[in-house]
Chain A
């Protein structure tokens, strides 16, 4: 046991402290106070508190967290942070020895001393499992630790962490945290922090008034009224949830006062009530505006997914006129390629997508070309047979993936730069993965339009799709153009699979979920028109998301389909019909 010997040297737990672990804490504190000088006292009691964490019940841990914060203050920050992150472990053999364990790469753990953060040992998973056990944590503890952390980082910490701490405190602001904020307010230099502090204090003021502690029918105190008016002014235009809640509760309290007693103080309450109402109204208006923006973003995001799924089909079905039921499986192949790429580079997940995009394009394009050369080219001009044959191919591909990878869904990891959200304000936050995929879909679209409009391949594709015989007569190798076009459409579908692997489950049935949507978008946009596909996917996405809150998800989908059926009745060629001879 090399590890434990090191540990013993690192943490000199005196025999005194070890004996003192189990008796009630109050006794311990009083007792140690007599025994040690102030400095050692803090350290000793912190050590003994932490040592108790491993064997304590959840209820006991709650009080321990409070005591750790009280005893150690700023010094407890790393310990509590490690606890919150679930990194606190203890030795199975000696439960009172607590360490921080950090997972390094896949299977190794770095064990750190929690007080000095010096490395104690570096071991693999098996040894780690055998020797260490986790200090368990639950929701209440997490909440408690978060509050403690915000209190600590309020007095020290950077501007950003202070802002974060204040936001966390605002929700459950009480007497003690309010007085803490008040005492720090004077010393604070940063303007935004100061502003947020005053908001927290205003929320506290309002809460107190709501409780009736400082404000009731009998109140005839102009200074009190002035204080509340000031608080209300501060809260005007704030979008934080806690602010709105405090205002709503305060309003309800005022209304209670007016209803409660006939002889309430009109002059005092009426102006306050109308002021509160006006502020709530303006805040709600602003919130509604941002919710509208959010919904628009959701619509665009869904639209971008539809665009990605459909754009490959816009080429194979739209331009070449092949009803390709295996299109969804090309998307699936792209998603599985992402999975395989991540398997091959497990330590570089952040960069895996940059490899996966070209890889998925190649894989799907190759499969597409093989399908085209072996099946589809024998079926030109026979749409029904093509439909059946490609449906058969889709079944084969799905079963192949099932046999190769198992029928279970595969886990594709999200790179860290794609998780989380861009917080514009407390109401509006845009998730990064959706933002990137929106941008990516537009990029793919532009690239594809470029290929079709500006390259010689694109010229050939357009020529062949407009008049095969004439193109042939002009020396275009139509066979090859067909294969390459089909490969391009399939490759783009594969690229879509990379994006979708970040949003949905990667399983054999992934493609099935998108095939209907893809056809819907292409038909609605107008067959053979890339621009139509773009407009169609975004408008269908937006329509879906704006209907969803009113009708529910299932009905929204149905309504969109009904709308398209009616639309196609009126305009069979979609939004942007092909013009000229090509349309025939």
Chain B
């Protein structure tokens, strides 16, 4: 008797709560924000949370979407990779968000991936990454390797005549995959194995003297040498300090970094870094009206004139605008409808061009190379003549070259279609 009572009460409770939730869902469109607000990644990710909130506020000022207001739901996965999955599940099932903007490190994205696929949700991932992935439920608004690493290497080779390569990175999935691609690419261009040096260091490495010394020695063999750095996080500071102390300057051995942007440079003395390079799809110094407006808006929103903008912020901006446009086009926030509406959507980027959403869930992006200045900004010294379409599966590794991703073509409709066996491997990503 008692048990039955409890069950009925429970059922009633569940139904009423479900009704209220769905009633609430009708009032607003919920935007989930899944960025670490504490822990090691908080430094970078807090900025992106603020960017999403700023975009939501701006969209609401314009009257929201489909006649509804947007409502941001912020959670804190605390730089804890498994917690990302839990928080994603919470956002989707409990908060019933319509879209999630989130993640920074590749390992956090990999942890969220099974959740968004199982629950058929939508994630916008705003950071440059190693590629080799294309999920039905994720849009990659940052750069794929062919939109950052490969053009940077081309620049060094063609413009600076680099013949010897040091690939230095932090020991985890993004640098390892990127370096694997770069090594294959360099070898395909006829660079001998002895002209490539690869070195990995742990997160937060601080004793760089041995590595910098071996880079110096490697660079003293008569051929122009450059360092391609996928060193991540705050290990960069002692690395560049050591370069300065040992007298490695940008004109003898330039370092091109893929993870050092305006945000990372803000707040420390950049004079030892002068002239070293970074490759991104956006720099704050880019000259365009859209960029000026964005910087102004950001400084006003964050109420701090010294704050800078950076590439992942632009990627968030592009992703958010593309999603908003797709929602209006689909006249719905249903994941499948929005996803189909996304393909082919064009939104302006901040460097004066257009970002187009591709059927492989990547975007077209311009590639820029900048030299670090003493004010912590970048001087853009080179850029691709037009936007480069993002390639999910690299063409430079034999096993990936035959794989394509296309979620629009109904014959393929797969993130990893093998063009030789004509099969989709069954993995969802």
- Chain A residues close to B by CB (< 8 Å): 58, 86, 136, 138-139, 142-143, 146, 241, 244-245, 248-249, 291, 294-295, 298, 301-302, 305, 407-409, 411, 413-414, 419-421, 429, 431-434, 503-505, 507, 509, 513, 545, 548-549, 552-554, 557
Number of B positions contacting A (CB below 8 A): 45
A553 and B269 form a contact (CB under 8 A): no
**Contact pick for B206, options A298, A419, A505, CB 8 Å:** A505
Task: Decide if B244 is an interface residue (CB 8 Å cutoff).
Answer: yes
Q: Which residue of A lies closest to B211 (CB)?
A: A553
B375 CB to closest chain A CB, in angstroms?
8
B171 and A408 form a contact (CB under 8 A): no
B245 and A420 form a contact (CB under 8 A): yes
**Residues in A whose Cβ lies below 8 Å from that of B202:** 553-554, 557
**Residues in A whose Cβ lies below 8 Å from that of B269:** 411, 413
Task: Decide if B177 is an interface residue (CB 8 Å cutoff).
Answer: no
**Residues in B whose Cβ lies below 8 Å from that of A142:** 250-251, 274-275
**Contact pick for A58, options B160, B206, B381, CB 8 Å:** B381
Q: Which residue of B lies closest to A414 (CB)?
A: B241
A163 CB to closest chain B CB, in angstroms?
15
**Contact pick for A431, options B43, B237, B245, B379, CB 8 Å:** B245
Q: Which residue of A lies closest to B375 (CB)?
A: A134
A70 CB to closest chain B CB, in angstroms?
22
B206 and A146 form a contact (CB under 8 A): no
CB-based A-B contact count at 8 angstroms = 106
**Residues in A whose Cβ lies below 8 Å from that of B42:** 407
**Residues in A whose Cβ lies below 8 Å from that of B244:** 419
A-B residue pairs, 4 tightest by C-beta? A245-B222, A504-B206, A431-B245, A241-B220
**Residues in A whose Cβ lies below 8 Å from that of B234:** 409, 505, 507
Task: Decide if B209 is an interface residue (CB 8 Å cutoff).
Answer: yes
Q: With A and B bound together, what is the CA distance between A343 and B250 in angstroms?
A: 31
- Contact mask for chain B residues 209-231; partner A; CB cutoff 8 A; 1 contact, 0 none: 11101100100111000000000
A408 and B267 form a contact (CB under 8 A): yes
Q: With A and B bound together, what is the CA distance between A285 and B221 in angstroms?
A: 15
Secondary structure class of chain A's binding surface, majority of residues: helix
Q: Which residue of A lies closest to B160 (CB)?
A: A139
**Residues in A whose Cβ lies below 8 Å from that of B379:** 136, 138
B206 and A503 form a contact (CB under 8 A): yes
B245 and A433 form a contact (CB under 8 A): yes
- Contact mask for chain B residues 52-90; partner A; CB cutoff 8 A; 1 contact, 0 none: 000000000000000000000000000000000000000
**Residues in A whose Cβ lies below 8 Å from that of B425:** none
Jot down 15 A-B pairs with beta carbons below 8 A, ordered by A.
A86-B374, A136-B373, A139-B251, A139-B381, A245-B222, A294-B213, A408-B267, A420-B245, A431-B242, A504-B238, A505-B237, A505-B238, A513-B204, A553-B201, A554-B200
B7 CB to closest chain A CB, in angstroms?
43
A139-B250, A513-B206 are contacts. A411–B267 as well, Cβ < 8 Å? yes
**Contact pick for A244, options B206, B220, B254, CB 8 Å:** B220
B164 CB to closest chain A CB, in angstroms?
12
Q: Which residue of A lies closest to B381 (CB)?
A: A138
B103 CB to closest chain A CB, in angstroms?
19
Task: Decide if B20 is an interface residue (CB 8 Å cutoff).
Answer: no
B247 and A429 form a contact (CB under 8 A): yes
Q: With A and B bound together, what is the CA distance between A301 and B222 in angstroms?
A: 30
B210 and A549 form a contact (CB under 8 A): yes
**Residues in A whose Cβ lies below 8 Å from that of B207:** 302, 305, 503
B41 CB to closest chain A CB, in angstroms?
10
B246 and A509 form a contact (CB under 8 A): no
Q: Which residue of A lies closest to B236 (CB)?
A: A505
A409-B234, A505-B238 are contacts. A431–B204 as well, Cβ < 8 Å? no
**Contact pick for A298, options B205, B210, B238, CB 8 Å:** B210
**Residues in B whose Cβ lies below 8 Å from that of A503:** 206-207, 238
Q: With A and B bound together, what is the CA distance between A557 and B237 in angstroms?
A: 21
**Residues in A whose Cβ lies below 8 Å from that of B247:** 420-421, 429
B263 CB to closest chain A CB, in angstroms?
10
A146 and B251 form a contact (CB under 8 A): yes
